[in-house]
Amino acid sequence: MTPTIPGFDHLRLPGADGVELAAAVGGAGSPVVPLHGVSAAVGYHLFLMAQPPGLPETMIARSADAFFGSFLDAWAGDPAALPDEVRAAYLRASRAAVPSIVADYRASAGIDIAHDQADLEAGSQLAMPVTVIRQDWGSRLGYDAAGVWRAWAPDLDHRLTGAGHFMAEEAPDEIAAAISDLLAR
């Protein structure tokens, strides 16, 4: 059974070889719905890591540097922010954590959705101040991060950054200021 995600329309689409694709389409819902607004060309890794244990871990572990390196290349808004020694550290840490990384992504495509839905239905919210920093191009994916997080965090500071995925490396002063502001709230 596919969990219902508030604010999303749920579709079941026929695929090749009798495989059925369950899709949730909409503009609000759980902040951990990883495939919302992301095409398979951009989010292929999300589909891969959502598969049952075994195959994703094996495929990624056998080419970990190429797999994770492709994201370092594609997601860095400023590749100079990831010099060789930083890149090597990311690859080393990612290589060592393949099972954990895959398990985390798998959970976000499965059980986390049910847990988040139950929490939302129970009225659970984060009592502490929350800051969400999002890449400014994120809205082109059709994802309303502020709207999603506001359901969880009434004391929300939502910010946009021009940095790529590696915000702390690409915009350290901006991110440090956001953290300082959060700690002062």
- Tokens representing 44 are 């292929």
**According to the model, what pLDDT value does residue 140 have?**
64
- Type of residue at 165: H
| Cα separation, 47 vs 20, whole angstroms | 14
**According to the model, what pLDDT value does residue 159 have?**
95
Low-confidence ranges of the chain (pLDDT < 70): 1-42, 138-142
- Type of residue at 29: G
CATH hierarchy code of domain 8-184: 3.40.50.1820
**According to the model, what pLDDT value does residue 92 have?**
98
Domain boundaries along the sequence of the chain: 8-184
Nearest residue to 7 via CA among 150, 132, 159, 133: 150
**According to the model, what pLDDT value does residue 104 have?**
94
Whole-prediction pTM: 0.72
**According to the model, what pLDDT value does residue 145 have?**
85
**According to the model, what pLDDT value does residue 142 have?**
67
Do residues 133 and 178 lie in contact, with contact meaning Cβ atoms separated by under 8 Å?
Answer: yes
